[in-house]
Structure 1
Amino acid sequence: MGKHRKNKVKVEHTLLEGLERYLRVISQFDGVKSIVPGRISRNNRGRGSKGIFLKYRTNSGFKLLYKNGTSVQEVFVVCSDSQAFERQFKEAYGYEA
């Protein structure tokens, strides 16, 4: 599969099932310039938290993790205002990182 863009999402890797709906919401946040889904790995701990989680701030935005119970996918968000993104993310997904 080649690289292509779908709105602000750069599709270079396969997306885990259920991730696309989170990316549609995040792409609407103020200041989001680009979303780059990354590597997928198995979640060896088995069942656990499911959903999308703020991992840490990067030079250009944030690294997120999407967990579906059996696998984990990295997601990188490039944004112009990291504080605004973090606030919007926490409001949308109702938790503290």
Structure 2
Amino acid sequence: MRNQCKDILNVITRSHTFFFRVRFCDYFKDQLGGFAEGFLDGYVQEDQDKVYSVMVEEFLMLFDLTYNHINLLNREFNEGLVLRVGNRSAVEERIPGYIRKLEEYTIK
């Protein structure tokens, strides 16, 4: 589960949008991953039902991210959208990675 959390964080922070560059998210990626792991350890406390619930939620968030990126391709890219998600080619580049993560995702 920890590796999946880091993988998803890597996919999201690799977006190279203005939003992430300004906030140095890539620079703090390891620290953010540590926060996520610490939260999971404290929240689930080895309760397998909670582990399962978190993993399902994580999968659904990745699915939603993928779905929204695919739908972005049907929109007009104005300045505000480009600042939030990057330009059209950046969005297109991320979609295969999201789909690959969905295909590889396992819920135990």
TM-score, normalised with respect to structure 2: 0.29
Higher relative contact order (CA closer than 8 Å, sequence separation 6+): 2
Larger Rg: 2
- Name the structure where strand makes up a greater proportion of residues: 1
